[in-house]
Structure formats: structure tokens, C-alpha cells
Homo-oligomer: A and B are copies of this chain.
Amino acid sequence: MAAKRLSSAQDYQRLLDRYDTWLLDCDGVLWQGDRLVDGVPEVLNLLRERKKKIFFVTNNATKSRKNYKKKFDQLGVAAEVEEVFGSAYASAVYISSVMKLPKDKKVYVIGMKGLEEELDEEGIAHIGGTDPADNTLEEFHLKNFEPDPDVGAVLCGLDTSINYTKLSKAFTYLHRNKDCAFLATNTDSTFPSAEGLLPGAGSISAPLTCALGRDPVSIGKPAKTMLDCIRAKYRFDPERTIMVGDRLNTDIEFGKGGGLATLLVLTGITHEWEITGPNPSTTIPDYFTNSIGDLRNAN
């Protein structure tokens, strides 16, 4: 079915009436890098005034929920830590509660501080990550590397300090121990920075996927894990819940897979022709509009 373009005040009003729970992607929807999308504070106020339940559902695993809260604060957007569901948090919940990694096991991390913070919050032991010993461009030699026998999983997220030492250690854990779980916070191929696209978390786990010849278990959107994570904390009626995002293959697929309504905004990665053109994507949202700011036009 074709996506419905929203344009009139009535269109936006109907949407507000129809959905009680709003899952909002962040990068490309609320902001582009460090630049807030026009009208976001007003729209969030509007949703709150109308007693909508809001969740911020983001694949960005470089920030913990607490860091996210700070980002909201800096941008002048009201938000609570409890409203934020990031793939770093979801990964930690997955490790502790879904795969139930034994307490005496560790996670080897390719990722940044925010990811480590969420693992800490869930009481999951981890190595790698921001450890200075692994953040080096020195030549890596297997003979100088003593693998930690307690590593039971490798978790890979966006890491702007990615290097051959981290990749080689992660590869060694996974290659030598078939029982070691290969996890990715998310597999977004690109990342929308304030100044433009850069390689995303999927590009950081891609070397391991290539070298191992197998795909990671991906936790973030479009995987259901994130929704399970929200559901574990809050009740919501999927029939009256809408996912708002800028990516077809993550946000919109995530919403559809969870039985939610979906709204695509064009402030991020997706162009209108990808859903309305002669060769449209196989993932089509229920609705689309230029920007989440358009919701201000509701009656």
C-alpha cells in the first residue's frame, strides 16, 4: 500500500488523535548531528500537553541514556532518562536478561564510553572499549596478546577509535571460540553527523562480519529486541502506537515488525523518491511528512 503524505492541519490532527504512544527516532528526526530540527520543542510540548506517552528510540550506541538526557538538555528539549531507549541500553539488557551471559563472563567491547556505561549499569563485566591499551595504532602481534578466557561475547557498536588492535582481538575471541557470542548494538551502515554522513556502526562491525564469514546478532532497530526492552518497562497498545523515523530499513521496518503504525520524516537519510518513485523500497511507511515539525500544524 502506498504511503499517505500528510499535509493538511486535519491530517496532523487525526494522527494526534489516533496514537497515544509515540516512539521517536532521534538522529535525523529530532536533530541532525548537533542541530535541532525546526519546531521540535513545540511538537514535544504539544505531545505532552495531549498526554501522549513519548519514547526516544535510537540506534546511536555511543551515548548512554544519561548522556542522551544531557544532549536533550543542551538542545533545550525536555526529556527524562526513562524516556530514552538506546541500542547501548538495549544491548546491555539483551546480554543480562535475554542471552543471560553468566555473571563470571565478560564482554569484549568495540565501542565508546556510553556503551560501557550501560554495561556498568547492568552489572556486566567488560574489557576493551575505551581501555587505553586497546586505543592504539601500534602494530598488533598475536604473540603479545593473551586472550581473556572469561570473554563470552563481543559487542560491537559505533567506535570512532576503531583500530586494528581492537578488530584483531575481537576477531580472535570470536574465531577461536565458537561459543563466544557476536553482538552488534545496531547495523546502521552510516551515521548522520551534523556536517554529513559518516560510516556507521554497521561499518564498524563489517570487518568482523567479513573476516568471520558470519553476521552479528544485531540488537538495535529493526530488531525486535528494542521493542521488547520498552515493553519490559511500559505497557502500550501497539494499535495506538506510532514509530517516527527517517530510515526505512531501521525505523520503519522496526515499527512494522512490531505491529505499530509508522511515520517517515524526510529530515534524515531517506528521499521521497525512495517511497514514491518508480522503484520504491519494499518497506513503505503508513505516513510520511517533511519534518516532525509539521505536527505543529495540527488544529
Q: Mask for A153-196, Cβ within 8 A of B = 1, else 0?
A: 00000011111100110011001000000000000011001111
Q: Are B210 and A164 in contact (CB under 8 A)?
A: no
Closest to A196 in B: B142
Closest to A191 in B: B211
Given A161-B137, A163-B137: A203 and B195 interface contact (C-beta under 8 Å):
no
User: When chains A and B are docked, how far (Å) is the Cα of A211 from the Cα of B192?
Assistant: 12
- A270 CB–B CB distance under 8 Å: no
Q: List chain B residues, Cβ under 8 A from A160.
A: 139-140, 164
**Which residues 184-230 of A have a CB within 8 angstroms of B?**
189-190, 193-200, 202-204, 206-211, 213
Counting chain A residues whose Cβ lies within 8 A of the other chain, the interface size class is 35 or more
Q: List chain B residues, Cβ under 8 A from A51.
A: none
Q: Mask for A127-160, Cβ within 8 A of B = 1, else 0?
A: 0000000011101111100000000000000011
Closest to A203 in B: B207
Contact of A203 among B139, B167, B194, B198 (CB under 8 A): B167
Q: List chain B residues, Cβ under 8 A from A189.
A: 210-211, 213
Q: List chain B residues, Cβ under 8 A from A161.
A: 137, 163-164
User: When chains A and B are docked, how far (Å) is the Cα of A210 from the Cα of B218?
Assistant: 15
Q: Are A171 and B199 in contact (CB under 8 A)?
A: yes
Q: Are B162 and A195 in contact (CB under 8 A)?
A: no
Q: Are A193 and B142 in contact (CB under 8 A)?
A: yes
Contact of A198 among B136, B142, B198, B206 (CB under 8 A): B142
User: When chains A and B are docked, how far (Å) is the Cα of A168 from the Cα of B196?
Assistant: 11
User: When chains A and B are docked, how far (Å) is the Cα of A195 from the Cα of B137?
Assistant: 19
Closest to A135 in B: B137
User: When chains A and B are docked, how far (Å) is the Cα of A20 from the Cα of B279?
Assistant: 54
Q: List chain B residues, Cβ under 8 A from A163.
A: 137, 161-163
A214 to chain B, nearest CB (A): 11
Contact of A200 among B196, B198, B209, B211 (CB under 8 A): B211
Closest to A204 in B: B207
Given A137-B161, A139-B160, A140-B160: A202 and B210 interface contact (C-beta under 8 Å):
yes
User: When chains A and B are docked, how far (Å) is the Cα of A204 from the Cα of B163?
Assistant: 10
Q: List chain B residues, Cβ under 8 A from A198.
A: 140, 142, 168, 171
Chain A interface (Cβ < 8 Å from any Cβ of B): 135-137, 139-143, 159-164, 167-168, 171-172, 175, 189-190, 193-200, 202-204, 206-211, 213
15 contacts between A and B (CB under 8 A): A137-B137, A139-B160, A141-B195, A142-B193, A160-B164, A161-B163, A162-B167, A163-B163, A171-B199, A171-B203, A175-B197, A197-B211, A203-B206, A203-B211, A206-B209
